[in-house]
Amino acid sequence: MTKLKLWGRPSSAHTQLVLLALAELGRDYDLTLASATMGSTGHVAKGNKAFGVVDTPEYLAINPNGTIPTIDDDGFILWESNAIVQYLGMSCDPELFYGNDHKTFVSASRWMIWADNELMRPMHHYVKHTIRFPDEMRDAAVASQSREALIKAMAIVDGQLGKTSYIAGDSWSMGDIPMTIRVHRWKLLAIDAPALPNVERYYEQIKSRPAFDSIADPNMHIAG
């Protein structure tokens, strides 16, 4: 198997989905640091230098969005993090990623899409307006609305985890990849919110997986 090429940055949640999927699969990769908004010392809004690469003609030829992540797997180019995770699971370990079953695949896929819409957006705004932006760019109203939206969405996650051990059933699946990133960030952000006992139990389960080490570092999530 050739070494997969990945463009992204460790502080990007979408890149983290791919890092976690690769760790679950034990696949080796070469990472090219790439971003228009973040560099090794933080966000450009705070005067830091971005990694770049994403605005070069070479990169735009493989990903016209100029976003991260992108992979090149032996000449097969793919962007959109959830599609990348699904591709990696299908090609390397369908049993682990979705029990090699189409209903488990779509159920997990549903949670991946839901996590992007309902958890990623408010969390992204919350982190920007409480951590990543300099003080003068922070909007307390946006931070507060995002916090409320997050609390609502996390209650839905807690409800599901009260019915099943993992997000798409009683076995771990690719649906737990975005959920791992979101629950880890949720815990690191330590937002004052009603108790979520099933999320607490789930957090212990996901932290005990060896692949968790690939995305565990708090600096990957709440620094910037």
Ligand X SMILES: N[C@@H](CCC(=O)N[C@@H](CS)C(=O)NCC(=O)O)C(=O)O
Tell me which residues touch ligand X (CB under 6 A).
Answer: 12-14, 35-38, 54, 67-69, 80-82
21 with 113: CB under 8 angstroms? Answer: no
Nearer to ligand X, 81 or 196 (CB): 81
Smallest distance, Å, CB 116 to ligand X? 7
- Provide the minimum distance between the beta carbon of 196 and ligand X in the complex, in angstroms, as a whole number: 24
Nearer to ligand X, 82 or 107 (CB): 82
Nearer to ligand X, 161 or 214 (CB): 214
Cβ 221 to ligand X shortest distance, Å: 11
Question: Looking at beta carbons only, is 63 or 104 nearer to ligand X?
Answer: 63
Joined together, the tokens standing for residue 164 give: 């099943």
Cα–chain center distance at 32: 18
Distance, in Å, from the CA atom of 146 to the CA atom of 125, rounded to the nearest integer, reads 6
**Which CB sits closer to ligand X, 54 or 119?**
54
* Closest among 222, 181, 218 to 85, alpha carbons compared: 181
Here the tokens at position 170 are 């009683």
Q: Which DSSP string corresponds to 127-195?
A: HIIIIIS-GGG--HHHHHHHHHHHHHHHHHHHHHHTTSSBTTBSS--TTHHHHHHHHHHHHHHT-----
Pick from 212, 215, 118, 105: nearest CA to 168: 105
Give least dist CB 170 to ligand X, A.
27
CB of 188 to ligand X, least distance (A): 16
